[in-house]
Amino acid sequence: MEPDPFGEGVNIVIPAKTEPFFETRRTRRGHGRKASKSSIGHGGLDHPHQLPLVTGRPHFQRDRCSVRLVQGDFHASGRRYVVASDRSEESRYAIEWAISTVLRDGDELFIVTVVETDSKLDPASGAQPADRVLKLRNQQERQTLAFLLAKMATGLLQRTRLQVAITCQAWHAKNSRHMLLDIVDYYEPIMLIVGSRGVGQLKGILLGSTAHYLIQKSSVPVMVARRKLKRTVIRGTAHLAPHRVPRVPLAQAAIDKAGPGRDKDVADMRQALEREEEEELARRDSGADPDADADNDDDDDEDEDEDGKVAG
């Protein structure tokens, strides 16, 4: 088997599906007395090499929400990785690169997104009923962000045979950079993976401000994942020559009676005739008569023949 059969990483061994499947109580096979029609076909695995994936319930803590994914027979090996995501394209590729290339069996991955805010932090215990309602709204927002990260990770994790655990966390904090450093110090991962640019990317800057800050301040190595440049390949245009006639509007279209090869032959013939006419005009201007020269040559040949007969 090839080390990278799909060109997306050494861990990707299952073809892509249209959309990842999330198991819920309604779609779980055999739930209740009678399974619904929509749950038929979702109870088993879609691919023979696909490992079972368990999605845990959202776990709420102060200013954060976590969703844990466990695939296969997971046994922690002690290796941990953290991916800082801001839901941009570059951070999305950082998640893809971590799952498809970095992870091995027994590893644990933390995908973290931090939203800076001053008004969505959880109030202290014993707050007023109005604060409790606000806290529930903030928890719902974090839960939505955590499930978005989980969906992003599930779509790629289901295409691997890794026996790993992935925890998706959504945070609310006053300063996202300081919070990311605290998360790194708490989990003590082997590596911190970030995207080269985030949502606030600017032209002319090599790295985003957050990525540059983490490189300078992080206590663990930082890997900046950069999306590969794809070369555009235009197929089926090798037969198009530079002399191809450009497209014209329909009102100016005309039917050519002769092809481009015939036109070239006619042009060559015209050039040859023009050269002959120029040579003939040059002879006339010089005073030499080509017909007279031809007659003199014939007379000389006849004299030579007569001399030969007499000598014989």
Q: Could you please report the per-residue DSSP string of 199-243?
A: TT--TT-SS-HHHHHHHHH-SS-EEEE-PPPPPP---S-TT--TT
Q: Is residue 308 part of a domain?
A: no
- The answer to whether the Cα torsion of 205, 206, 211, 217 is positive or negative is negative
Q: Is residue 195 part of a domain?
A: yes
CA–CA distance from 119 to each of 113, 131, 189 (Å)?
17, 11, 30
pLDDT score for 42? 38
Q: Which of 191, 208, 190 is nearest to 86 (CA)?
A: 208
Domain enclosing residue 83, as ranges: 55-227
Segments of the chain scoring below 50 in pLDDT:
1-2, 18, 21, 24-44, 201-206, 231-233, 238, 308-312
Percentage above 90 pLDDT, the chain: 34
pLDDT score for 293? 54
CA–CA distance from 151 to each of 22, 24, 111, 228 (Å)?
8, 13, 12, 23
The domain spanning residue 71 has which CATH number?
3.40.50.620
Could you tell me if 162 and 172 are in contact, meaning their C-beta atoms sit under 8 angstroms apart?
no
Q: Is residue 17 part of a domain?
A: no
- Rounded to whole angstroms, the Cα distance separating 142 from 125 reads 19
Q: Which of 57, 51, 47 is nearest to 73 (CA)?
A: 51
pLDDT score for 70? 95
- Rounded to whole angstroms, the Cα distance separating 166 from 69 reads 5
Q: How many Cβ atoms are within 10 Å of 95's Cβ, its own excluded?
A: 22
For residue 279, what are its two tokens?
Answer: 């040579």
pLDDT score for 220? 95
pLDDT score for 84? 93
- Rounded to whole angstroms, the Cα distance separating 308 from 64 reads 123
Q: Which residues pair with 165 in a beta bridge?
A: 70, 108
Q: Is residue 80 part of a domain?
A: yes
Q: Is residue 189 part of a domain?
A: yes
Q: Is residue 194 part of a domain?
A: yes
For 133, phi and psi rounded to 5 degrees?
-65, -40
Q: For tokens 């893809």, name the residue.
A: 96
pLDDT digits (tens, 9 = 90+) for 140-180: 999 999 999 999 999 889 889 999 999 999 999 999 999 99
Distance, CA of 92 to chain centre: 11
Q: Is residue 172 part of a domain?
A: yes
Could you tell me if 43 and 30 are in contact, meaning their C-beta atoms sit under 8 angstroms apart?
yes
Q: Is residue 196 part of a domain?
A: yes
Number of domains in the chain: 1
Q: Is 157 left (phi over 0), alpha (psi -120 to 50) or beta?
A: alpha
Strand 64-71 with 59-61, pairing: antiparallel
